Structure 1
Amino acid sequence: MVLFYNLSIRLYVLLIRIAAFFNPKAKQWVVGRKGVFKKLQEAIRGEEDIIWFHSASLGEFEQGRPVIENFKEKYPNSKILLTFFSPSGYEVRKNYEGADYVFYLPPDFAGNAKRFMDIVNPRMAFFIKYEFWHHYLKELKKRNVPTYIFSTIFRPDQLFFKVYGAFHRRMLSAFTHLFVQNQESVDLLNSIGLSNVTLTGDTRFDRVYTIATGSKTLPKVEGFAQGKEVLIAGSTWPKDEENIIKYLNETKNSYKYIIAAHEVDEDHINNITSKIQKTWVRYTKATKEEIDAAEVLVIDCIGVLSSLYRYGTVSYIGGGFGRGIHNTLEAATFGLPVIFGPNYHKFQEAKDLIEIGASKSYENYSELKNLLDNFYENSEKRNYSGLQSKNYVDRMRGASDKILSEIQV
């Protein structure tokens, strides 16, 4: 199995290198790792107390950020090393002030893992949510480095719990402790003989609360909303946009609409605006007068979505017709009802929000229309769902403190 794993990693790296000739993100993945060991050696002094945090991408980083920042606050003399697998994390957060060092993680080859550990010599290692790298974990265990994973969630269909999953189960044995999101994860890990497990919840609740309390005032959006009912569609993909735009084109109510697509390149923004039959404006290009008069505001930049929700009445979260929905909690923390497509079952918070009446999922346009009409016409129902959203986030906060209280520093 190790041979197959090694071959698969090498094949992945080869394919990424080929893709780098025509794919910008693949190119960033390759170029960003050039000379990484030399850069590590130049940056890190051997006597430093290094605490290593690893994240796959930007989403996982934001999830782990409360733990990183709380750790740094409690232990200011330690040096935080933050590594990323994906360009979506590194390129956005390479200048993150909460870490002393930020690097790409070299591919998971045995030689790379050994060399990385020789240079970094971490006193502790933290993996955020879903990062299981065989050689790195093996090297950490071999060197008796306390190693943790947090905000993770396990499902019965994962390889760890299959009769042929011994190789993957061995990776789990490298962790000193596993901090998980739900009781099902605890039970699954217990079923394969792991008792070093604690149910702490999801650190994203701490993060979205921090974001909400520090959210930016957006004068243009404030002028656009003008106290009206505002539907905010965040992190949308083409299928989401098709349904939302159909609704806004057909409906006669006085909703205002904000569309913040997942991709904001010029072609995609133009594709969205070409289908809108109501008065629309682009966020970065409109005058105050144009924004005040518009019915639809199209966000054509990044970095404002989490602050948009404060101006909303109802939220729609994209991704539910693809690989999975995006961040529902950023909207929920502002006390908004949350709507999303059918692909949400891998997300514990989405299931929880539906169960308590804070969220609704839909399968087709007809169902979406009924949901939006109901929320518009029934303010009591809308307010109830919004209150359930906010109370849920408030109730679930505190995972970061629970994790750090369990760790022997």
Structure 2
Amino acid sequence: FLISASFRVDQPFFRWFGGSWRRMLGLFTHLFVQDERSKELLEGVGVRNVTVSGDTRFDRVTAIVAEARALPIARAFRKASELPVVVAGSTWSADEELLAKAAQGRAVRLVAVPHEPVPEALERIEQAFPAPVVRWSFAEERMDTPAPAHMPPEQDPLHARTLLVDRMGLLANLYREGDLAYVGGGFTDGIHSILEAAAWGRPVIFGPRHRKFPEAAGLIAAGGGFEVRDANTLSATLHQLLDDPASLKAASQAAARFVRDHTGATDRVAGHLLRALSAQGLQEGH
């Protein structure tokens, strides 16, 4: 079985030289695809054992939201100021350069989560992003230590402009503490998961390289996703969303609705598999 597959017309399966690729498709008992276009492409080359089931990733991110644990540091950072918070997840240097430029002179705070929290990436963000910048690990120590008496709020690390996350495995739950999200990878090999942010009802901004990810076009069409191509378009998008509460609310609702409307693939696939296995068992019983 092939589950949650997505096919594009430019793939070898559908090209004149793709005979061996098409033969591979015949090895599957059944193919579960994300959309009607994928089914049409497969049927066009003679593959009939296809069902449009949707994408099981929508169910996974919905489960993450339902089972999320609290992150006290992120919550304290958000509550330390009334400024809007942008969670920048899975960023690379190209993303960080745009974010740094777009944040200049703007009343906004950032939660920065580099794709690879190696020393050079952390140092790069510390130098480029709005200061003061506090690392997550330092904030952890601060949370475990009583604050000095009469310490001015501006000296509290959690009042920083940028919270730099130097820990792994936190991103999916961090999106809940932002007003909107920026997801990296759209200026390198392709965007990372935008569904994790959208599942929290956060508008998602990303770069132009998302052709292999149909959920990006879907989220844009739904009104919850925003493609940017440079610092100017990023700045304009931040202005559109952060300076207009009605626009931010509409985009947030659209993002949440997009994920909600696409859940259920896991149950559809499981139902088909159970029927297929049951039928196989009956045949073997005879």
- CA distance in 2 between counterparts of 1:293 and 1:392 reads 34
1:275 is displaced (CA, Å) by 2.1
Quick check: 1:278–1:296 contact (8 Å CA) kept in 2?
yes
| Residue 26 (structure 2) aligned to one of 158, 165, 173 | 173
CA distance in 2, matches of 1:359, 1:231: 14
Q: Residue 229 of structure 1: which of 63, 84, 88 is its match?
A: 84
Residues 291, 297 of structure 1: 8 Å contact kept: no
- Spell out, residue by residue over 1:64-98, the C-alpha distance to the aligned partner (whole angstroms, 9 max, x if none): xxxxxxxxxxxxxxxxxxxxxxxxxxxxxxxxxxx
CA distance in 2, matches of 1:405, 1:345: 30
Which residue does the alignment assign to 1:396? 262
Secondary structure in structure 1 of the residue aligned to 2:137: coil
User: Which residue of the partner structure matches residue 331 of structure 1?
Assistant: 197
How far residue 252 of structure 1 moved from its aligned partner, in angstroms, is: 3.3
1:203 alignment partner AA: T
Preserved contact between residue 134 and residue 158 of structure 2 (Cα < 8 Å): no
Q: Equivalents in 1 of 2:260, 2:106: separation in Å?
A: 36
Say whether residues 1:377 and 2:259 are aligned partners.
Answer: no
- 1:37-48 to structure 2, matched below 5 A, reads none
Do structure 1's residue 154 and structure 2's residue 7 form an aligned pair? yes
Equivalent position of 1:299 in the other structure: 165
2:120 counterpart (255, 267, 275): 267
Equivalent position amino acid for 2:163 in 1: L
Deviations 1:105-142 (A, max 9, x none): xxxxxxxxxxxxxxxxxxxxxxxxxxxxxxxxxxxxxx
Q: Give the corresponding residue for 2:57.
A: 204
Could you say which residue in structure 1 is the equivalent of 2:69? 216
Point out which structure has higher relative CO (alpha carbons under 8 A, 6+ apart): 2
Q: After TM superposition, which residue ranges in structure 1, 4 or more long, deviate above 6 angstroms? A: none
For 1:177 and 1:214, locate their aligned partners in 2 and report how far apart those are by CA, in whole Å. Answer: 31
| Contact 2:130–2:162 (CA under 8 A) maintained in structure 1 | no
Structural RMSD (CA): 1.1
**Structure-2 separation of matches of 1:201 and 1:331:** 19
User: Are positions 1:251 and 2:117 aligned together?
Assistant: no
Number of equivalenced pairs? 260
Q: Which amino acid aligns with 2:63?
A: T
1:369 aligned counterpart, secondary structure: helix
Report deviation, 1:216: 1.7
- In structure 1, the gaps of 5 or more residues are 1-147
Name the CA distance, whole Å, in 2 between partners of 1:276 and 1:394.
Answer: 34
Deviation at 1:304, TM superposition (A): 0.4
Which 10-residue stretch deviates more, 168-177 or 262-271? 262-271
Per the alignment, in what secondary structure is the counterpart of residue 48 of structure 2?
A: coil
CA distance in 1, matches of 2:157, 2:164: 10
Q: How does 1:283-362 map to 2 (within 5 A)?
A: 283-286=136-139, 287-288=142-143, 290-362=156-228
Inter-partner Cα distance in structure 2 for 1:291 and 1:320: 31
Q: What TM-score does the superposition give when structure 2 sets the normalisation length?
A: 0.88
Deviation at 1:251, TM superposition (A): 2.1
Provide the C-alpha distance between the structure 2 equivalents of 1:395 and 1:302, rounded to a whole number of angstroms.
30
Letter in 2 for 1:284: S
- Residue correspondence of structure 1 range 24-35 to structure 2 within 5 A: none
SS in 1 for 2:2: strand
Contact 2:90 2:184 in 1 (8 A): yes
Supply the AA of the counterpart residue of 1:242. Answer: E
* Shift in Å, 1:163: 1.2
AA in 2 matched with 1:343: R
Q: Distance between the aligned counterparts of 2:246 and 2:69, measured in 1?
A: 28
Q: Secondary structure at the match of 1:221?
A: helix
Q: Which amino acid aligns with 1:252?
A: R
Amino acid of the structure 1 residue aligned with 2:67: G
* Superposed displacement of residue 349, structure 1: 0.8
d(CA) in 2 for partners of 1:359 and 1:291? Answer: 32
The one-letter code of the counterpart of 1:261 is P
Q: Distance in 1 between matches of 2:36 and 2:58?
A: 17
1:284-311 C-alpha deviation (Å, 9 max, x unpaired):
1222464322111000010100010111
Taking structure 1 as the reference length, what is the TM-score of the superposition?
A: 0.62
What is the match of residue 96 of structure 2?
241
User: Which letter maps to 1:367?
Assistant: T
Question: For the residues of structure 2 that align with 1:159 and 1:277, how far apart are their CA atoms?
Answer: 46
Aligned with residue 363 of structure 1, among 215, 224, 229: 229
Residue 332 of structure 1: how far off its partner (Å):
0.3
- Structure 1 window deviating more from structure 2 (271-280 vs 213-222): it is 271-280
Q: Which runs of 5+ in 2 are unaligned?
A: 148-155, 278-286
1:387 counterpart (243, 253, 260): 253
